Amino acid sequence: MENQIIEILKSFIDYGDKLSKGVINASNELRKEENTINTDILLQCLDGLQWCVDVLKNTKGYLSSKDIRIDENRLADIIRELFEAFQNNDNVLIADLLEYEVTEILEEWSKDIKTIL
């Protein structure tokens, strides 16, 4: 069982790195948009983030046993801010949240998880 969890966490790190790059690309695209938000880009980012949260929730017990504490609620707060910015058609705020907040969280999570692999 532990080997499976380790493989899942390795996948998380690989995917998190790709997702971070995708999030930065998405934020750049959103900054280019004048009056509309590209919902496809935002939905792809949110889907990727949801996968990450699911992995963390499913491995939380294992991570805790290794003294790794990951607070997925922090991401939930940012997602709420993203939703509010989306409702207000605020591309700049969405782009900033993606580039600065989301990528920071993904990098922190990957860094923490790498310490046990």
Does 43 have pLDDT greater than 90? no
pLDDT given for residue 89 in this prediction:
86
Please answer whether residues 13 and 113 qualify as being in contact, where contact means their C-beta atoms are separated by less than 8 angstroms: yes
Summarize the confidence of residues 42-56 as an average pLDDT.
Answer: 91
Does 67 have pLDDT greater than 80? yes
Give 87-104 pLDDT, tens digit per residue.
998 889 999 999 999 999
Percent of the chain with pLDDT over 70: 96
CA distances to 9, 22, 41 from 2, in Å: 10, 30, 35
Structural domain range at position 101 = 2-114
Give the count of domains, the chain.
Answer: 1
Alpha-carbon span 103 to 85, nearest angstrom: 18
Summarize the confidence of residues 80-90 as an average pLDDT.
Answer: 90
Higher pLDDT, 116 or 31: 116
Give 12-39 pLDDT, tens digit per residue.
999 999 999 999 998 988 888 665 667 8
